[in-house]
Amino acid sequence: MNFNKEYLVQENLTKPEKDEQTEAGNYFVANYPPFSFWQKDYVSDVLAVLEQPAPPDVPLGIYFHIPFCRKRCHFCYFRVYTDKNAGEIRNYLEAGLREIQNYAAKPYLQGRKPKFIYFGGGTPSYLSVSQLEELTAGMKACFSWDETEEIAFECEPGTLTEKKLDAIRKMGVTRLSLGVENFDDHILESNGRAHRSGEIDRAYGYARKIGFPQINIDLIAGMMNETEENWKSCISQAIALDPDMVTIYQMEVPFNTTMYQRMKDAGKVTAPVADWTTKRRWVSYAFNEFEKAGYSVSSAYTVVKDPSKAKFVYRDSLWSGADLLSFGVASFGQLSGVHYQNQADIDAYIETVHRGEFPIFRAYPTNEEERFIREFVLTFKLGHLQASYYQEKFGIDVLKRFEPQLSYLQSEGFANIEGGSIRLTQDGLLQIDRLLHAFFLKEHQNARYT
């Protein structure tokens, strides 16, 4: 068989090289099959799963989406609200608790104990101490946290006071994730972030002092006005903080961002951020500097200080097919291989829950082959795979099934394959989201991730 690049492009097995400028659109592969295939017609599949008996051996996670932020960042593509008062937030939390109560009563979930819990957003740390206490008490009344190995919580540094951090620690949070993004006040401001560098230092210092088992900080390579010098300074400041894990995203500009809106209004195709080559070079620089400081690269986006202690139960469980009961507006979940997403408008969400219905807006029931591809592409982001794992779990020889794609990765210097071990090179790792589409079923290639 001919494995050259033209053959692969012609067969739609890989994307043609594109202009390296950052244009509008999503590059990040968050799930599989792509969201554009999820439909309202499949919602009944989720409802049918809920009536099945609970599986004895599938781990369960719980996700709650808190869609409130102090300000909308110019690059944000999430559904967030910046104008809700305390009463409206309480109404939302009440609806969330009603939703989780409805789930807890269903045979598929009754009596199950979550292995991991994730508070995401938006900004979970936007909630007040009393709102957090009521929320967690209500959640625990539905599902016991006795066997929960990880409770992860996303924070915006400027929303954290010592009192709030104490309350978050008391909730049992084991993994605190700080959305630092950049340490430079001008860059933070010009990208619409609400926090400033002084707040990062204060929040991080106190969080460290009160002993969260793991602290992650998020950075973004290629924010508007980012320079080489600034990026290097960001990395040395991040290393000086000594976090347990650092997650580095490459800036993308999806269509539903204010940055895209401004581009459109100005008739521009190229986003005012660094091109992809520069962003990859900056992440490569970051990985190398962290490695010099004793960190290990643990995925396409993360470095960890101590691989023997650093865990990310949420990511690893989800990628390998755990159930995720998600609740809250616009949240994404999966139960028994059926993906679903909730209603994305807060008023419609609250109304639906109060009518006693599940506020699911679209869903997708995966088949065995799609579950295999999903796990393969998501776990490939870790940078190394063992063919034997997929043989045992799915009865598929990935070296045969993906022979053209893997040969292409090897010939381009993106991966090394030895025996049954497939390992991405740093070059491959830094552009893995672009390369993953080649492993999708043909009908899912070139689909939009919206």
Closer of 195 and 339 to ligand SF4 (Cβ): 195
Cα–Cα distance, 83 to 263 (Å, whole number): 25
Closer of 80 and 274 to ligand SF4 (Cβ): 80
Residues in contact with ligand SF4 by CB under 6 A are 69, 72-73, 76, 78, 80, 121-123, 156, 179
Residue 178 C-beta: closest distance to ligand SF4, Å: 11
Residue 177 C-beta: closest distance to ligand SF4, Å: 11
Residue 46 C-beta: closest distance to ligand SF4, Å: 25
Closer of 293 and 344 to ligand SF4 (Cβ): 344
Residue 26 C-beta: closest distance to ligand SF4, Å: 14
Closer of 45 and 156 to ligand SF4 (Cβ): 156
End-to-end CA distance of the chain: 35
Closer of 12 and 197 to ligand SF4 (Cβ): 197
Residue 305: φ, ψ to 5° = -75, -45
Locus of tokens 């959640």: 139
The maximal CA–CA distance of the chain, rounded, in angstroms, is 64
Residue 219 C-beta: closest distance to ligand SF4, Å: 13
Residue 180 C-beta: closest distance to ligand SF4, Å: 11
Residue 443: φ, ψ to 5° = -70, -15
Closer of 85 and 308 to ligand SF4 (Cβ): 85
Q: Measure the CA dihedral 333/336/338/340, to 10°.
A: -20
What is the side-by-side strand order in the sheet with 60-66? Answer: 296-297, 302-304, 245-250, 214-221, 175-181, 150-155, 116-121, 60-66, 323-327, 332-335, 338-342, 360-365
Cα–Cα distance, 424 to 436 (Å, whole number): 12
Q: 161 near 195, Cβ under 8 Å?
A: no
